[in-house]
Amino acid sequence: MAAKLVADCIFCRIIKGEIPSVKLLETATVFAFLDIGPLSEGHALVIPKYHAEKLHQVPDEFLTETMPVAKKIAAALGVDNYNILQNNGKLAHQEVPHVHFHIIPKPNEQEGLTIGWPTKQADPAKLRELASKLKL
């Protein structure tokens, strides 16, 4: 399976070796490296070797190794607390328009990812209605 990369994407250029990176692991479908703007020590990125902005646009065969690679990185970091983060679109805080997964160690309250989670009370009937519309 051939990688699909584009010339003007920073992550595609990292995969091709045109931009230097501190590579952690590479397979036929995945490239993992340390983030140059880390939220904490060991902050890493796992990217599929298929250029797409959003997760639903990436063929499954380019995603099968992403979580196993993220798991390997998390285990190698040896931290008890960490986040796996993947954003889709500018409104969802995606900075680089190439699907990527962050592995972010959370060693203490000050370092790592900090987020708010503004939950709302869900209506059970509306949840059932939505589930039937999704038809998975």
Q: Catalytic positions, please?
A: 100
**How far is 19 from 33, CA to CA, in rounded Å?**
12
Contact 84, 113 (CB under 8 A): no
Residues 6+ apart with CB under 8 A from 31: 11, 14, 15, 23, 25, 46, 47, 49
